[in-house]
Amino acid sequence: MPNMIYICLRSTTDWKNEKVFLEQLKDDFKPKVEVWNSVFNMPYNIFRHRIKEIAQLNLSRVENAICATIDEVPDASVVVPVDDDDWLSPALGNVLETELEDNKTGYYWERDFLELSPSFVIKAGRFVLYTMAGRKRNIWTCSTNNYAVVKNDSLLHLLKSHVAASEYFDSEKDKVKLIDGHLSIMNRTLASQTSLGWKKPGISKRELTRKYNSYLGLYSGIKLPELSWCEPYVKMMQDLMDELRLK
């Protein structure tokens, strides 16, 4: 199908099946899952399964796009790689189609994050939605879900790693195109590896409880004028957080 956009998940984790989930779980992350399960009424894998369900609903509503595995995508097709907690604008497929150029192998747009702002949490316990426009631009051009790549054998590694994609986009500027707009959002939840302490060996019950109390207010009362398309999913996340309780 000409100009069809494909959405491909990087991860195939089976969150709902506890046995399979535990078999797939990396050893260095197991202690954090154990702490989570000792603190909350909802097991970690079920919470992540619910997050994935919200994301899948969101992805199913992207117009002019097909969710598929990378092996199912025809060569020369445009692929948007995502994690299983990422959200995309329903307009993304149509916008990308109008922006395609024969000499371009990559496309990217504004990076938007829904997460606790570390500085605000430390200073005032407040919550914000902020974009990379308000942050230092010295990290990555590509985050987990703000870029698309034309599929070919030489570029497959860009679909698996946003770090590799950033290096390519930064070094091959004539082959990539910046698209204006807020077309995706990274939903960095309480259960994300970053929230649970990226590169840290573990997390204490006290620290996890503190993070939980901060996250309770993240999804309530947020105004998203540039990202109004994601408001239904913000409400779903608020409902999910309302279900998550301390034991």
What are the pLDDT digits (tens) for 196-213? 987 788 999 999 999 999
Q: Which residues contact 3 (CB under 8 A, 6 or more apart)?
A: 64, 78, 97, 100
pLDDT tier at 117, thresholds 50, 70, 90: low
pLDDT classification of 239: cutoffs 50, 70, 90 = very high
CA 211-214-219 angle, 5° bins: 120
Q: What is the signed CA dihedral for 168, 173, 175, 180, rounded to 10 degrees?
A: 100
For residue 118, the model assigns a pLDDT of 53
* Residue type for position 182: H
78, 83, 87, 92: CA torsion to nearest 10: 0
Of the candidates 187, 179, 183, the one whose C-alpha atom is nearest the C-alpha of residue 222 is 187
Q: What is the mean pLDDT of residues 212-226?
A: 82
* Residue 78, pLDDT score: 97
* pTM (predicted TM-score): 0.89
Mean pLDDT computed over 173-183: 95
Q: Please say if the pLDDT value at position 138 is more than 70.
A: no
Q: What is the mean pLDDT of the chain?
A: 88
Nearest to 34 by CA among 197, 217, 202: 202
Question: In this predicted structure, what is the pLDDT of residue 220?
Answer: 82
Please state the rounded mean pLDDT for residues 174-202.
92
Q: Which residue has the tokens 């692929």?
A: 79
pLDDT digits (tens, 9 = 90+) for 47-95: 999 999 999 999 999 999 999 999 999 999 999 999 999 999 999 999 9
Are 72 and 45 contacting, i.e. CB atoms less than 8 angstroms apart?
Answer: no
Residue recorded with tokens 């590169």: 199
* DSSP classification of residue 181: S
The answer to whether the beta carbons of residues 126 and 115 sit under 8 Å apart is no
Position 124 scores a pLDDT of 32
Residue reference for tokens 């995309």: 88
